[in-house]
Amino acid sequence: MTPRLAHTGLNVTDLDRSLAFYRDLLGFALLAEGKEDDRRYALLGEGGGQPLVTLWQQAQGPYDRDRAGLHHLAFSVDSIDRVRAYESALRAAGVDFAHDGVVAHREGGTSGGIFFHDPDGTRLEIAAPLGPEGAPAPHASAPTCGFF
C-alpha cells in the first residue's frame, strides 16, 4: 500500500489573512490554532475531523513558482455547480484567477474547475469530476493544472 496524503502544510506570511481566506471563502473549519515563540499556526479541516490544511506563519515573502516544492494544491467537490459557487464567492472577494471561469482539465475532458491564488500567491484548484464539457482547455497538449 502506498502512503496517503494526510494533510498539506503551507507557509504563510500573515496567518489572520490566510485564515480568513481558507475558513471564510473556502469553508474550512478551524480545528486548532496556537503559537510557538513568535510563530503562529492553524489546523483546518472539516468539522471535528482530521486536519486537511495546516497554515504556518513563518514565510518572509510570497509563493515563488520558480522554486522547487509545491506546484499547486487541488481540492475536489462533487458538482460543477459547487465549483461555480466557489468561483462567484472568490471573484466577489477579489481573488486572482489564473484562467477566466471554469476550464477543462484537458482538451475535450469531462472534468475541470477553477484555478486561482491564495493571499500569498499559492496556486489552488477546485475541480469537479463532471460538468465542464465544452469548456475551454487553456493548454492543448498539457494538463490545465500544469502551467499557470
**Given a cut of 90, is residue 148 above it in pLDDT?**
no
Report yes or no: 85 and 131 within 8 Å, Cβ to Cβ.
Answer: no
Q: In what order do the strands lie in the sheet with 51-57?
A: 8-12, 51-57, 39-45, 29-36
% of the chain with per-residue pLDDT over 90: 74
Report the alpha-carbon distance of residue 89 to residue 77 in Å, rounded.
Answer: 15
pLDDT, position 48: 78
Q: In what order do the strands lie in the sheet with 73-76?
A: 73-76, 123-128, 112-117, 103-104
Q: Kindly state the cell numbers that stand for 135.
A: 469548456
Report the alpha-carbon distance of residue 28 to residue 48 in Å, rounded.
Answer: 11
Give pLDDT tens digits for 9-63. Answer: 999 999 999 999 999 999 999 999 999 888 899 999 998 789 999 999 999 999 9
Alpha carbon of 64 to those of 41, 50, 75, 79: distances in Å? 21, 28, 20, 31
Give pLDDT tens digits for 87-146. Answer: 999 999 999 999 989 999 988 888 999 999 999 999 999 999 998 888 888 887 788 888
Give pLDDT tens digits for 78-89. Answer: 999 999 999 999
- Kindly report the average pLDDT of the chain as a whole number: 92
Q: Are strands 112-117 and 103-104 parallel, antiparallel or unpaired?
A: antiparallel
Report the alpha-carbon distance of residue 81 to residue 55 in Å, rounded.
Answer: 28
